Structure 1
Amino acid sequence: PTIESDFGMKLTVFFGNSWTKLKGDELRIYFDNENSLFSEFIHYKADENLISFSQAILWGLAHRSNLSAIKSKILQDINESKDIRDIIVTMWEEHGNLVQTAQKLFIHRNSLQYKLDKFASLSGLNLKKLDDLAFCYLLILTD
C-alpha cells in the first residue's frame, strides 16, 4: 500500500512455479508460457494484488489459455514419478485427506508424505494445496 500510494500506481505480484531439471532453452519456454498466462489473468481479473501459480494455472485451464508447455512438463513430471498418478487420483477422491489416502493406497502415511515431498521438489507443486491437487487431477483427466 505504501508504494502504491506514494507513486500512484497499482502493484500486482505473481509467483510463478519453481522449475527443476530443465534442459537448454526450456526455462525461457516456461517463463514465456507463465508470462502469457499472467498477462491474460491480469487483463480479466485486474483487482488481484497477489497471484500464485496455482491460482493462475487453474484460471488458465478454465479459460482455455495456451498452457501447452506447462501442461506437458507437469504431465511429464507426473509420469516420471512412481505412483504419483494413483496418489493424485486417490487424494482427490479422499478430499486431500492424507491418512485416508494412505490407507486406501495401502502405504504408510510417512511413505505418502515422502512421495509428495519428492514430487513437490520435482514439479514445484505441493499436492497438499487444493489448487495444486486440482490442477494435477484435471491434467490427468484430460491426458
Structure 2
Amino acid sequence: MDSKKLQTLFPEGHFSDEAATSDAVFTFTTDQGFFLLEKERLSPKEQQLIELLMPQAPTENPARNHQWYRILFDGEKPVTTTPIRVIQIRIRTPRAFLQTEWLAEIKDMFLQLADSFFISETELILVEEKADTNYPVEEIFGLFQALDSDFDLYTQVFVGAFHHESALLAANFLEERQIFQQELAASTRQKEFPFTRSAISFFINEPIKESPLMNSLFREWFSDPEMVAILRALWENQGNVSSAAKELFLHRNTVLYRIDKFQEATRLDLKNMDDLVFCHLLIAVFSEQ
C-alpha cells in the first residue's frame, strides 16, 4: 500500500516498525513498514469503509489459520529471526489434480519449509527458512518443471529473496507480490521468475518504455532479428562469442563479423559489459516475448 497516499488521507496516523496488537487500531502494511491508525479518530462511516477493504475475518479465510499467512498479509509479528524467502506459485491451468500428493512432493523436496498454504484456488505460497540445504534458484525451477510433467500441470514460479529484517517481512513480501503480479500480466508463457530479473523488469521497464530516446535507439539498433538473436546469445553466455556461436549453430567468424558490423554502426563495444547490459535492457523491454 502506498505510504504517501495513506499519510495524505489520514494525517492523524503514524508509521511503526511493528503492527498494532490492539483491536482499537487499524494496521496497514506499506512500503515503509506499518501505518497505524486509531479507530477513535475516525467517523463510524470511515471505520466501516476501512473494514470493508481490510482482509476477511479468520473464519472466512482458511489460509488465516496459518501463522505465516498472518505474518505476511496481516502484519503479525514474526516468531523467528531466521532469514526466510517466499516462493509464489501460480497454477495457470486449474483443474482437478492430485493436490495432496503434489503438496507432499513439494514438502519432501524443500527440507527447510516453514509453511505452505493456498491463498486462492490457483496460488500457493511457500515460506522457506535459510539453511545450507536450500536449493539454488535454477534448481527450484527444474524441480517444478519435473513436477509439472509428473502431475500434468502448468505452474509459474517466482522465487523471492531471503529477508533478514523480520520487522519488514510483510512490507518486503508485499512488494515481491506486486513484482510477480506485474510479471504474470506481462507474460502468459513465461514459467520461471527469479527475483533479480523480475525486479529489474518491475523497476526499469515502464520508465524505459516511456522514453522517446530509448524507443528511437531500439528502432535504429535492433531492426535486424538475426542481430537481436546474437545479442541475446551473447548476454546469456556472459559475452563469450564462441559459446554464443555454438548456441546459435553459427560459425564463430560469422558471429564476429556481425558483431563488428553492429559495433561500427552503433559505436558500441560489446566487450564492455555496460554496453552489453544496455543492449540487453532495450531488447528485453521492447522485443515481443
Q: TM-score, normalised by structure 2?
A: 0.26
Q: Which has the higher strand share?
A: 2
Higher relative contact order (CA 8 A, sep 6+): 1
TM-score (norm 1): 0.50
Max Rg structure:
2
Normalized per residue, the structure richer in helix is: 1
